[in-house]
């Protein structure tokens, strides 16, 4: 089995867009960058389901998602701005 994308909890993705209002911080994103409805989050927030809908393998999706994550982190936190962000 290939590499699977794993959320590091930085909050960058959910700070920029969300399935409820489109653009902007998700109302379900907590102050400590957790998803308040993680177990019942929509399919669009589930990397395995998004990968399937795009016809990508887990490994292909992981490679693309990690690249996008880096761009979003720089937009949200600035260059090197991740140092004080709690991520797991
Ligand atoms: S529902 Fe959860 S995973 Fe989806 S955008 Fe909101 S905080 Fe992020």
26 contacts: CB under 8 Å, gap ≥ 6? 14, 15, 17, 18, 19, 20, 35
Write the residue with the smallest CA distance to atom 8 of ligand 1: 14
Show pLDDT as tens, one digit a residue, over the chain (88 residues).
678 899 999 999 999 999 999 999 999 999 999 999 999 999 999 999 999 999 999 999 999 999 999 999 999 999 876 765 655 4
Q: How far is the CA of 80 from the centre of ligand 1 (A)?
A: 24
Residues with CB under 6 A from ligand 1: 14, 18-19, 26, 28-29, 35, 37, 41, 45
Residue ranges per structural domain of the chain = 12-77
Would you state the structure tokens that stand for residue 4, as one six-digit string? 């699977």
């Amino acid at each position: 089995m290939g590499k699977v994308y794993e959320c590091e909890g930085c909050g960058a993705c959910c700070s920029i867009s969300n399935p409820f209002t489109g653009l902007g911080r998700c109302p379900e994103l907590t102050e400590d960058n957790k998803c308040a409805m993680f177990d019942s989050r929509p399919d669009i927030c589930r990397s395995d389901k998004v990968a399937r809908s795009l016809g990508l393998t887990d490994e292909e999706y992981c490679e693309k998602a990690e690249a996008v994550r880096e761009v979003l982190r720089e937009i949200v936190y600035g260059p090197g701005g991740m140092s004080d962000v709690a991520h797991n």
